[in-house]
Amino acid sequence: MSTMLVTGGAGFIGANFVRLTIERGAADHVVVLDKLTYAGRRDNLAGLDASAVEFVEGDVCDAGLVSSLVARADTVVHFAAESHNDNSLRDPSPFIHTNILGTYTLLEAVRAHDRYLHHISTDEVFGDLGPGDPRFTETTAYAPSSPYSASKASSDHLVRAWVRSFGVRATISNCSNNYGPYQHIEKFIPRQITNILDRRTPKLYGTGEQIRDWIHVDDHNDAVLAILSRGRSGETYNIGSDGEATNRTVIELICDLMGAEGYEHVADRPGHDQRYAMDASKLRTELGWSPRYTGDLRAGLADTIAWYRDNEAWWRPIKDAVEAGYAKRGQ
Ligand code: NAD
Ligand code: TDX
């Protein structure tokens, strides 16, 4: 029987990953380790068979707990992180704790028990691009700009060092901006969808000319499963689905799909990265991966809007507090 340990499995991407893993039969048993911070919710895993998915509440920096869970697993997939740039600008400390110390703790456990680790990272480690620059590849130099992206870059470096110095078996993936069900409403796309559902005006930072490379969360997770089954240890894979769009285009698309009139420009993010764009050729050619949504943002957004419309009970209790936090910063 195969057992997979998934850290951060009660968060947005992790919970979708656990669902896909069970649906595909990619593991017989999944153990989720999650601290249930403001971003993690047990009900993100609701409806899954309790005999297939076991939940452990705890911190990925707790070396004793992590060691005991890693010992029981064949494979470890590491999603747990503080993930929101805006929060890292207000208080970097949990980003340093979880993203750096948490990855270190996990690496020491997989080293001790000789287990395979897949580390989930982000395109932001490469910094940002100008409008005409070539997209990020796996060999682009790291140049993170925010406390969040610097902490993720640090964690990637730790993984590479443990592979090289200690022979740990590990892979890394760096993915572009995700969207889809269960994404916290602090993030751009669900914030605008729930603003419209709540009769609030959508909020665009600055001019909205920044570019993000959007991928549906199921395409991200499908790529992770491809790396787990066919990836080579020690390698890094970029994940993206050719979904580049300006923030202004995305907000206008959401307004159009939801029949909403207009949006407002609010205070910009300090140090705001201009453009992210992923070249995922290595994943496509070496592992034969291709995305289902193929950069079709309109179709993916329509599905996502339907999910937030149908699951108001999931986001409604936190909406006022999230918006009050943004309002304090003029956003
Ligand atoms: P999220 O914030 O929705 O979820 C993070 C989860 O980690 C939560 O369930 C939280 O409770 C848990 N967690 C936080 N600190 C923990 C700790 N110390 N111990 C155990 N659990 C802890 O984040 P997400 O958007 O699902 O991102 C998941 C991963 O994917 C992160 O590593 C992130 O850097 C990466 N990533 C995200 C995106 C994106 O667009 N959201 C893109 C590329 C990569
Ligand atoms: O209300 C908003 N208005 C707005 O214009 C918010 C919340 C954001 N924005 C802009 C800022 C960004 O240019 O939208 C873009 C996307 O913002 P976020 O959803 O905060 O994502 P980003 O900062 O790009 O980072 C995301 O992608 C990479 C994830 O949050 C990270 O975890 C991941 O690593």
pLDDT by 10-residue block (mean), the chain, 331 residues: 97 98 97 98 96 97 98 98 97 98 99 98 98 97 98 98 98 98 98 98 98 97 98 98 97 98 96 98 97 84 97 98 96 96
Q: What is the pLDDT of residue 296?
A: 76
Q: How many CA atoms lie within 13 A of 61 on its CB side?
A: 11
Residue with CA closest to ligand 2 atom 6: 188
* Protein residue whose Cα sits closest to atom 23 of ligand 2: 85
Half-sphere exposure (CA, 13 Å, Cβ side) for 160? Answer: 12
Active site residue 148: yes
Catalytic site includes residue 296: no
Q: Mark 263-294 as b/e (b = at least 16 C-beta within 10 Å).
A: beebeebeebbebbbbbbebbbeebebebebe
pTM (predicted TM-score) = 0.98
Domain ranges of the chain: 3-178+215-239
**In whole angstroms, what is the distance from residue 41 CA to residue 38 CA?**
8
Q: Which fold has domain 3-178+215-239?
A: Rossmann fold (3.40.50)
CA pair distance 112, 184, nearest whole angstrom: 34
Q: Which residue has the tokens 């149908």?
A: 310
CA distance 186 to 46: 22
For residue 110, give the amino acid letter: V
Task: Decide if 123 is catalytic.
Answer: yes
Atom of ligand 2 nearest to the CA of 81: 32
- Closest approach atom of ligand 2 to CA 331: 1
By C-alpha distance, which of 2, 10, 223 is closest to 118?
223
User: Residue 19, SS3?
Assistant: helix
Per the listing, tokens 């580049």 go with: 244
CA of 51 to the centre of ligand 2 (A): 36
Ligand 2 centroid vs 209 CA: distance in angstroms?
13
Backbone conformation region of residue 127, classed left if phi is above 0, alpha if psi is from -120 to 50, else beta: left
- Residues within a 6 A CB radius of ligand 1: 7-8, 10-14, 33-37, 39-40, 59-61, 79-83, 98, 102, 120, 122, 152, 175, 177-178, 184
- pLDDT score recorded for residue 295: 63
